[in-house]
Structure formats: C-alpha cells, structure tokens
C-alpha cells in the first residue's frame, strides 16, 4: 500500500484526554477516532489490527472445535426477563424502545439468546456436546468509559457458549476453551496468566480470567512468578484428547484476581516467587452449570429416558480491548512495537528522497515484490523529509523498516531496521527483500 493512497491521519501532538500509553498511541498513530464517550471509529490502520486479532481468535476457536455463527447486536427484552437478568443488569444495559414501543436492548452478552436458540432446535443428548461462538459488537453503558478501547462502551467481543450433558462433560468444554485461549494470546505475542476469578453477573462457580501483566492494568492480581513465563500448550494439542493435565499444569500455582484473592494461600508461595502486580483482563471463561438452561427450559432427553437441563459455560475474548492491551505490553518512547502476527503492515518502506529517479524506482520495485509476496508493505511515498518519515514509522510500529536512499543505492545497498530491537543492517536490495519475505510472510 502506498501512503499517498492510504488514509493514515497521524497526530504530532499527544492528545490531552489520553491517560495511558495505548490510548495515546492509538490516537497518535491514526488508529482510532472517538465518536462519543467510549465509542470509536477504527481508522484503516486500527481496523487492520482489529481484523488480525479477530482472525487469530477465530482460527483458535475453530481449531478447538467451536462453530462460528453470528447473533445480532439488538435483543428483545423478553429473553432477559426469562433469565431474570433484565432488572439485575442495571444501568449498564442500554435499553431501547422501537417504533412499536417494544422493549429491546443492545446486547452486553449472549447467554440468553444462544440458550433460546439451543432450546428451539436441540432436544436430545445426541446433539451434545456443542460449542458455538460469534464475534460481535456489544454495548455496556459504563458510567465512566476511559482508556480508549480498553474500557469502551461499544466493544468487540468473541463469546462462545458450550452445551453439555453433565458437569464432567462441561468441564471438557471448559478445558478446550481454556487451552485455546492460552494459544490465542500466545500467537499475538501476549503472555497471559490464567487466574481464578469472580463470576460476577454471568454466575456460576468456576471461572478464570486471562490476565496480561501491565502497570496500567485496571485490576490488582497476585500470582506465582513462574506463571509469567510458562510456555503456551502449542497448536498441535489434540483437542479431542484429555486436556485436564494441561489445564492442571496452568492452574497448579497460585494465581488470583483481587476479588477472589486469598492472602493466606498466597503466603504459602515462597516469598521470592510472590508476584503482586497489575493486570489487564483479555479473556474470561465461566462454567455456570444449569443457571440459564433451567430458567429458560433448555433441556435434552437422556439416553435412558428422562430429561436434563444442559450444563453450560461461556467464554469471552475482548477483541477490541486486545488492540490496546498489546500496545500496553509492547511499546517504547518512540511508539508502538507490533508483534508480527497482528501488525497492520509487516514492513514500512521509507524513500529517503522522493522524486529521485533511481530511489523511486528501487522503492517501487521493493513495494511491488513485497506486495506480490504477501509481505504487506506500507510504502511512505510522501514528500516529507527523512526525519519525519522515520519518526512516523517508529510510531506506527511496523516490525521492519526498509530504508532506501540515493547514497546507499550508489553503493548497491539499502538499510533494514528491526523496530523491536532497533538493530540496523546494510545489505543489497535483493538480500533485504529475501529476508523480509522470510520474516513477514505467514507460512502455513
């Protein structure tokens, strides 16, 4: 993509309303534009990141056997009256009246709706187990939306729902999502720590939050230090196999969010391993048994006769929030440092002298080659001076920068800079393009 054809409205000044790095950098890098409190447009660069995050979440959901669908943003109030949550949800629920005076709401989550879909079509134990998910915009009318997309009102969430015959089977579904989440965040370059958590308005008695440690995190968390560099299970896990041992491994050491923190248990962790820190929640999994299926009569016939309310769980990933969380975890004074997997473009081409025939030709060639190879280049073909181009490229944080200028070309070389390390190397254009193809094109 040529910058002259793109829409990348970067800002020179730091917007005063932004209190944390991710919010500041998303505004400065031209990723988002605020439309109302906690409601954002995703400008082209931000949208690409959002798409990349959504796609990784999707691939790992599918790998774990979950089936994708899509529920609408608006829901009829009746469903929530059935479960008893219509009143309970309070002012965070955005309530709407349509032209025929019907009570609607903008969905904050979808337990009721999917339970109602399930009961319409599934009547037998033979239909189980099932995990269904969607990625859809939700709305929670926070009193004080803040931190950009980290605590927005309209936000994108992946939410999955599992249906099983009993608690043991439901636990297997829970484990599938648990392992899928560890892999999901790991693919995005995030080290997530699963922690015991409160179930809150979802209900149930088993829940884990997946936490990214970051100073600007909203919650206090407590865990054993070894969890912070525990490797993820890996993409070759057999999701049809028994995952309990893997889950046990990830939950054996102490890890809890503030709400369920047990100081006594924490004190049993060796002192040098005790970590009390701040964290950002990027996902949460719940097992809540028959809470919704009983209230809403989602039952199946049993093999030996009789009926059983299905055991359910739900599993959320904060897709739009992750864009901010990754930046909190990966930036420096100069700007964002994108992990390759979710970088909006993989390499930025910097033309040091726009208008110089040879330099323009070399940049055009690099752009063409990288685009054809699927290396997703962004070519800064603007008239700006080199300093401004460097600063902007550093700020938007693409993993690689390919720097091409007339002086280097005379010696037959270009420069390649890795954003994360700042390391620069001088090499021929061909060698640089080869290296970039290897680094930037996703192999499958």
Q: Examine residue 239 and tell whether it contacts a copy of itself (CB under 8 A).
A: no
Q: Which of residues 50, 214, 370, 436 is near a copy of itself by CB under 8 A?
A: 50
Q: Which of residues 63, 130, 274, 278 is near a copy of itself by CB under 8 A?
A: 130
**Do 285 and 181 contact (CB within 8 A), yes or no?**
yes
Which residue stretch of 80-88, 95-103, 166-174, 349-357 sits at the interface with a copy of itself (rule: CB under 8 A)? Answer: 95-103
Q: What is the DSSP string of 12-38?
A: SSPPTT--SHHHHHHHHTT-EEEEETT
Of 87 and 229, the one with the shorter C-beta distance to a copy of itself is 87
What tokens appear for 20 in the block?
Answer: 């944390």
Question: At 303, phi and psi to the nearest 5?
Answer: -55, -45
Minimum gap (Å) between residue 161 Cβ and a copy of itself: 11
Minimum gap (Å) between residue 110 Cβ and a copy of itself: 9
Q: Examine residue 91 and tell whether it contacts a copy of itself (CB under 8 A).
A: yes
Minimum gap (Å) between residue 303 Cβ and a copy of itself: 14
Q: Total residues contacting a copy of itself (rule CB under 8 A)?
A: 51
Q: Which of residues 15, 17, 55, 69 is near a copy of itself by CB under 8 A?
A: 69
CA distances (Å), origin 342, targets 21, 47, 55, 405: 18, 11, 9, 29
Round the CA-based radius of gyration of the chain to a whole number and report it.
24
Residue 208's DSSP bridge partners are 196, 285
CA distances (Å), origin 320, targets 153, 178, 196, 325: 11, 20, 23, 9
Of 113 and 256, the one with the shorter C-beta distance to a copy of itself is 113
Q: Examine residue 154 and tell whether it contacts a copy of itself (CB under 8 A).
A: yes
Of 154 and 380, the one with the shorter C-beta distance to a copy of itself is 154
**Do 131 and 164 contact (CB within 8 A), yes or no?**
no
Q: What is the greatest pairwise CA distance in the chain? A: 83
Q: Examine residue 29 and tell whether it contacts a copy of itself (CB under 8 A).
A: no
CA distances (Å), origin 124, targets 118, 248, 303, 305, 356: 11, 31, 8, 10, 72
What tokens appear for 219 in the block?
Answer: 């919650």
Q: Which of residues 27, 29, 56, 113 is near a copy of itself by CB under 8 A?
A: 113
Q: Examine residue 164 and tell whether it contacts a copy of itself (CB under 8 A).
A: no
Closest CA to 88 of 6, 200, 3: 200
Q: Examine residue 39 and tell whether it contacts a copy of itself (CB under 8 A).
A: yes
Q: Which of residues 6, 86, 239, 266 is near a copy of itself by CB under 8 A?
A: 6
Which residue stretch of 126-134, 253-261, 298-306, 336-344 sits at the interface with a copy of itself (rule: CB under 8 A)? Answer: 126-134
CA distances (Å), origin 79, targets 55, 117, 140, 199: 30, 11, 17, 21
Q: Examine residue 88 and tell whether it contacts a copy of itself (CB under 8 A).
A: no
Q: Examine residue 139 and tell whether it contacts a copy of itself (CB under 8 A).
A: yes
Residue 97's DSSP bridge partners are 103
Q: Which of residues 82, 117, 356, 369 is near a copy of itself by CB under 8 A?
A: 117
Binding site for a copy of itself (CB under 8 A): 5-7, 9, 30, 33, 35-36, 39-44, 46-47, 50, 65, 67-76, 91-92, 94, 96, 98-99, 102, 104, 106, 113, 117, 120-122, 130, 132, 134, 137, 139, 141, 143, 153-154
């Amino acid at each position: 993509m040529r910058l002259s054809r793109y829409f990348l409205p970067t800002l020179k000044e730091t917007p005063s309303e932004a209190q944390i790095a991710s919010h500041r950098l998303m505004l400065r890098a031209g990723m988002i534009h605020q439309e109302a409190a906690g409601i954002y447009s995703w400008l082209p660069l931000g949208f690409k990141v959002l798409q990349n995050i959504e796609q990784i979440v999707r691939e790992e959901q599918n790998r774990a056997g979950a089936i994708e669908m899509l529920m609408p943003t608006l829901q009829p109030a009746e469903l929530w009256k059935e479960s008893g949550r219509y009143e309970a949800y309070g002012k965070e629920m955005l309530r709407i009246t349509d032209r025929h005076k019907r009570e609607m709401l903008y969905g904050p989550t979808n337990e009721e709706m999917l339970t109602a879909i399930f009961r319409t079509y599934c009547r037998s134990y033979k239909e189980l187990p099932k995990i269904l998910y969607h990625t859809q915009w939700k709305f929670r009318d926070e009193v004080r939306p803040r931190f950009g997309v980290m605590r927005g009102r309209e936000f994108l969430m992946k939410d999955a729902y599992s249906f099983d015959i009993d608690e043991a089977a439901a636990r297997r579904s829970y484990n599938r999502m648990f392992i899928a989440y560890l892999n999901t965040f790991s693919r995005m370059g995030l080290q997530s720590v699963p922690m015991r958590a409160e179930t809150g308005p979802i209900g149930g008695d088993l829940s884990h939050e997946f936490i990214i440690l970051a100073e600007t995190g909203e919650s206090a968390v407590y865990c054993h230090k070894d969890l912070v560099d525990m490797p993820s299970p890996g993409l070759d896990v057999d999701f049809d196999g028994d995952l309990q041992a893997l889950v046990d491994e990830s939950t054996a050491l102490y890890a809890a969010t503030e709400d369920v923190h047990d100081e006594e248990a924490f004190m049993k962790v060796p002192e040098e391993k005790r970590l009390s820190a701040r964290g950002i929640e990027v996902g949460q999994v719940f097992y809540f048994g028959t809470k919704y299926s009983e209230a809403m009569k989602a039952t199946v016939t049993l093999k030996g006769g009789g009926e059983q309310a299905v055991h359910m769980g739900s599993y959320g990933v904060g897709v739009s929030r992750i864009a901010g969380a990754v930046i909190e975890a990966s930036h420096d004074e100069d700007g964002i440092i994108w992990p390759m997997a979710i970088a909006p473009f993989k390499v930025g081409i910097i033309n040091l002298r726009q208008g110089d025939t040879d330099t323009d030709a070399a940049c055009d060639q690099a752009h063409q080659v990288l685009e054809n190879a699927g290396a997703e280049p962004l070519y800064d073909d603007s008239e700006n001076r080199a300093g401004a181009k460097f600063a902007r490229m550093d700020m938007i944080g693409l993993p690689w920068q390919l720097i091409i200028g007339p002086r280097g070309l005379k010696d037959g070389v270009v420069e390649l800079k890795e954003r994360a390390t700042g390391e620069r190397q001088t090499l021929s254009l061909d060698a640089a393009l080869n290296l970039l193809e290897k680094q930037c094109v996703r192999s499958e």
